[in-house]
A = this chain, B = another copy of it.
Amino acid sequence: MATISDIGLAAAINILSAFFFFIVFAILRLQPFNDRVYFPKWYLRGLRSEPSRSGAFVKKFVNLDFRSYLRFLEWMPAALRMPEPELIDHAGLDSAVFLRIYLIGLKIFVPITLLAFSVLVPVNWTNDYLEKSHVVYSNIDKLSISNIPNGSKRFWTHILMAYVISFWTCYVLLKEYEIVAKMRLHFLASEQRRPDQFTVLVRNIPPDPDESISELVEHFFLVNHPDHYLTHQVVYNANKLSKLVKKKKDMQNWLDYNQLKFDRNPSSRPTRKTGFLGLCGDKVDSIDYYTSEIEKLSKEEAEERDRIKRTTKSIMPAAFVSFRTRWGAAVCAQTQQTRDPTVWLTDWAPEPRDVYWNNLSIPFVSLTFRRLVTSVAFFFLTFFFMIPILMVQSLANLEGIEKVVPFLKPLIEQKLIKSFIQGFLPGIALKLFLIFLPTILMLMSKFEGFIALSILERRSATRYYIFQLVNVFLGSIITGAAFEQLHTFIHQSANQIPRTVGVAIPMKATFFITYIMVDGWAGIAGEILRLKPLIIYHLKNFFLVKTEKDREEAMDPGSIGFDTSEPQIQLYFLLGLVYAVVTPFLLPFIVVFFGLAYLVYRHQIINVYNQEYESAAAFWPDVHGRIIYALVISQVLLFGLLGTKKAAQSTPLLITLPILTIAFHRYCKHRYEPAFVRYPLQEAMMKDTLERAKDPNFDLKGYLLNAYIHPVFKTEDDDDSATGDQEMESILVPTKRQSRRNTPVPSKYNGSSSPSLSEVVRELP
């Protein structure tokens, strides 16, 4: 049993290590040669270029201004300074709303913590149930609900608190849903013209013996949307081609690397082996080898391009159909086209940069099958992943270790090491398991056939959350307790489960506190340091970078990774809500997590991450729903726990609570969710009218013509039709861009105030 002093030690270690990380970060970020690692967003937006070149040579790499080191925490207030509208402008609505999740955490848990410490802690502390019961207990347990004797009248306090907490959480969620919905609508209304506003993705076009897909689509929409249909773009199966393009690019990288190596050391030409991974086989000259490989691939690529354009086989029964007006597109996207609800399926097209092209070529009929397979696979992944965790958990138990490796006993028994092991080991073991999981889940989602990155990420997030719920939360509670009661648990009936889990909850408080520190605090401190990108950038910079474009690619910070970050935050919501009534001692750790995370991620979003797409906060209903589920789980578990505490007279009150919560959820769904899934005709009409008035002669057809072309065809077009393409994209993305990679559309584009515009105008051809 870990005592408060154990936890205190662990907390001290964690705080110190976080502090250490911050200092390292402060030093690293001030070095000019790290500038592109810690402030890539500004480079990508074109607001910052090379660090001042006027000074001494050494100044280009090392910051010698010692005063700046003294203000090593100044990034914290700086991160908070940028107001939200500017943040939306700077980083997009997705990122700005993502930060609000942390803010919600603070809004929910700060008042709850204060309340719990002023009410629940005294109520729990002033009992002597644990003392009298002669069981082993730590002083954390004395602060928890375990210290209340069975059948005590004091449980009414806990029930009242459960109500207060639930109402407060719901209130915060309601307000937040309202704000986010308003932000989204405002964002959509003030958005620039974008191809996806006019475009609908049609899938499962039925085959026709007389017409090609393209003709069929044209005729169908000319007949059924005569006043609105403008143009369309068929979808090619270019997966093979993009593989070739990717392979060629890899080869080019290797060639560059070898070329650079040779340039630096002209005395020896680099060589490599031709066999597996370059480890075996004949030795050849690297530069020659890669040059010939690239030539071969170029030929293959040209053939493939030719094949795609020649045969009709590579045309998928899907098309991007564009309309004259947003109104027309909104109508088509939101209605059923034909009798048969399985053909001519229309839905909004994702943003061009949000499209996941590989999946557009999946035949629609196989989607149901793919969905089934993924569900089954996910089920097995979720439930059989528990076996290794179970083993590790049993080791993490101190007595367990002593049994398995008895010779370590004297070492472990030392107080400091004991505390250390108890504080860290279980959290780390779990964490290690989870590192490779998001990749697997993303692969699953891709296999399932979603056609937009945003949907892929949302889906992966849902799965990741379920996984964490089952394995991290329930898994830790049940398997940990399993050594005491596994046998009885298997033989219990369905309605006994909340009881069994509920009883185990207070016992696992210590474990989750250490988990919050190791996973939450340290994770965030590590996040700001960006050790991995730092190393990779410098390696790339040294070995590969030749041009400015290469450098931009090397510093690419990626997007924030909604699919992993959001479920992780959700776990803390769950822990906070579950333990709020049971063991309030855990709450301050949650509050510190949310505060720190808000600060760090605000800094990162302003300075680092570069969102790949903009879904206008389409993920919010998921976030809202999961917090509600966490609330319901907390209520059910409290019900289970009190059921064993002989507080049966409170049953009706405790059953009412989840029912009310679910009713609240349904209300919110009805009231706010439409803002996230439908596009009202009035909005569409307003934007159409406004735009027609402002720009009556705009060539929409030209604008939309190539918007939904597969990216591999775009690179090809570069050479011959670069100007037209450039023009189109310059409307899309008015930022400084040397490369053709995706950079975010400035969300709410305000011509006069944004400092980026002047730069952009200067940079544009």
Q: Cβ of A685 < 8 Å from any Cβ of B?
A: yes
Query: Is the CB–CB distance between B334 and A680 below 8 Å?
Result: no
Instruction: List B contacts of A335 (CB < 8 A).
Output: 330-331, 334-335, 678, 680-681
Give the size of the chain A interface in residues (CB under 8 angstroms).
33
Query: Considering the chains assembled together, what is the distance between the CA atoms of A185 and B339 in angstroms?
Result: 7
Let me know if B681 and A336 touch, CB within 8 A. Answer: yes
A714 to B493, CA, bound (A): 64
Most buried by B among A330, A337, A338, A680: A680
Residue of B nearest to A328 (CB): B331
A683 located at the interface, meaning its Cβ lies under 8 Å from any Cβ of chain B in the complex: yes
* Interchain CA distance A338-B678 in the complex, whole Å: 10
Contact status of A685 and B223, CB under 8 A, knowing A331-B331, A339-B680, A341-B671: yes
B224 with A682: CB separation less than 8 A: yes
* CB interface residues, A 335-375, toward B, < 8 Å: 335-339, 341-342, 344
What mask results when residues 656 to 682 of chain A are scored 1 for a CB within 8 Å of chain B, else 0? Answer: 000000000000001110110011111
- Asked if A138 is at the interface (CB within 8 A of a chain B CB), the reply is no
Cβ–Cβ < 8 Å partners of A337 in chain B = 680-682
A71-86 interface (Cβ within 8 A of B): none
Q: Is A485 an interface residue (CB 8 A)?
A: no
A496 within 8 A of partner (CB): yes
Asked whether any CB of chain B lies closer than 8 Å to the CB of A227, the reply is yes
Give the Cβ gap from A685 to chain B, nearest Cβ, in Å: 5
Chain B min CB distance to A492 (Å): 9
A188 to chain B: closest residue by CB: B339
> What does the 1/0 interface line of A284-305 toward B look like (CB < 8 Å)?
0000000000000000000000
Closest chain-B Cβ to A204's Cβ sits at a distance in Å of 13
What's the dominant secondary structure at chain A's contact region?
A: helix
User: Of B494, B496, B675, which contacts A339 at CB under 8 A?
Assistant: B675
Which one of A223, A334, A679, A681 has the highest number of Cβ atoms from chain B below 10 Å of its Cβ?
Answer: A681
Query: Does residue A495 face the partner (Cβ distance < 8 Å to B)?
Result: yes
Closest residue of chain B to A185 (Cβ to Cβ) is B339
CB-defined contacts of A332 to chain B, threshold 8 Å: 681
Q: Bound state CA distance, A339 and B684, in angstroms?
A: 10
* Complex-state Cα separation, A679 to B341, whole angstroms: 11
A686 to chain B, nearest CB (A): 9
Instruction: List, in ascending order, chain B residues with CB within 8 A of A331's CB.
Output: 331, 335
Known: A335-B331, A681-B336. A671 touches B342 (CB 8 A): yes
**A664 smallest CB distance to B (angstroms):** 13
A224 to chain B: which residues have CB within 8 Å? 681-682, 685
Chain A, 227-262, contact with B by CB distance < 8 Å: what is the 0/1 string? 100000000000000000000000000000000000
* Docked complex Cα distance between A331 and B227 (Å): 13
- Nearest Cβ in chain B — how far from A336, in angstroms? 5
CB distance from A447 to the nearest CB of B (A): 20
Cα–Cα distance between A188 and B682 once the two chains are bound (Å): 30
Given contacts A224-B681, A224-B682, A494-B495, contact A674 B334 (CB under 8 A): no
Q: Is the CB of A338 within 8 A of B494?
A: no
Determine whether the beta carbon of B339 is less than 8 Å from that of A683.
yes
Chain B residues, CB < 8 A from A341: 670-672, 674-675, 678
Q: Mark A180-209, 1 if CB is under 8 A from B, else 0.
A: 000001000000000000000000000000
Once the chains bind, are B336 and A680 in contact (CB under 8 Å)? yes
The minimal Cβ–Cβ distance linking A221 to chain B, given in whole angstroms, is 10
Minimal beta-carbon separation of A396 from chain B (angstroms)? 33
Q: How far is the CB of A666 from chain B (nearest CB, A)?
A: 11
Q: A676-705: contact bitstring with B at CB < 8 Å (1 yes, 0 no)?
A: 001111110100000000000000000000
CB of A678 within 8 A of CB of B336, answer yes
Q: Is the CB of B682 within 8 A of A338?
A: yes
List B contacts of A330 (CB < 8 A): 335
Q: Could you tell me if B495 and A674 are in contact, using CB atoms closer than 8 angstroms?
A: no
Smallest CB separation, A368 vs chain B (Å): 8
Chain B residues whose C-beta falls within 8 Å of the C-beta of A674 in the assembled complex: 336, 341
New contact pairs (8) apart from A339-B682, A344-B682, CB-CB < 8 Å: A223-B685, A224-B681, A334-B335, A334-B336, A335-B678, A341-B675, A493-B493, A495-B495
Closest 7 CB pairs of A and B: A341-B674, A494-B495, A336-B678, A338-B682, A336-B680, A493-B495, A331-B331
A-B contact pairs, 27 of them (CB 8 A): A185-B339, A223-B682, A223-B685, A224-B682, A224-B685, A331-B331, A331-B335, A335-B335, A335-B678, A335-B681, A336-B674, A336-B680, A337-B681, A338-B680, A338-B682, A338-B683, A339-B675, A339-B680, A339-B683, A341-B670, A341-B672, A341-B675, A344-B682, A493-B494, A493-B495, A493-B496, A494-B494
